[in-house]
Amino acid sequence: MTVVAAVVLLGAAALSVSTGAQATPPSVPGPAASQLVLGTLAGPSKAKKDNIELKVGSDTTVRTFTLTYPPGSSSGWHAHPGIVLAVVESGSVTRQFADCSAPQTFTAGQAFTEVPGHLVTNPGATDAVLRITQLFPAGTTVLREDLPDPGC
C-alpha cells in the first residue's frame, strides 16, 4: 500500500505486542479509545484531487475512533502498521519521534501524522481528545507494537 497523502485522520490501536523488557506501554491511566468504526477500501484503488493523492495496492482497512488522553498520560513508545493521522479536537498533545528530533505540540484544530517510532503525551491539565483514522492492510491483526524508549 502506498499513501502519498490522505485527507483522513489516523491513530492508536487497541492490540499491542511487547518487543521485550525495554518496551514502553502506555501510562496508567492511559489513552482510552471509543466510537470505533471500521470499513474496507477495496484495492487496488486511487483518488487524486486538489494536489492530494491516495493510492492503495490491495484491500485496506479504514479504522476511525476517538482517543482521549487524560492529563499527564502518554501513549508509550510505539508504532502502527499503515498510515495514521490525528486531529486534535480539544486540549493539546506533544508528539516525539524515535529519531529524537524536536518534539512538536498540537492544539485543538491541528492535525498530525504518526509514523513508526513515536510517543504522544498530554502535557496539559485537561483531557486531550483526538479524532483518529488509521489505514492499514486488510487482515492485519497487530495494530500496535510497543517499542523501547530510544533515550530522547
DSSP string across 98-137: TT-PPPEEEETT-EEEE-SSEEEE--SSS-EEEEEEEEEE
Place of cell 493521522: 85
| All structural domains of the chain with their residue ranges | 32-142
**103-118 per-residue burial string, b: 16 or more CB within 10 A, e: under 16:** eeebeeeeebbbeebb
pLDDT over 50 (residue 148): yes
Q: Quick check: 37 pLDDT over 50?
A: yes
Q: What is the pTM of this model?
A: 0.81
Instruction: Supply the Cα-derived Rg of the chain in whole angstroms.
Output: 15
pLDDT of 96-142, one tens digit each?
Answer: 999 999 999 999 999 999 988 999 999 999 999 999 999 999 999 99
Top CATH class of 32-142 equals mainly beta
Cα angle value 77/83/88 (rounded, 5°): 70
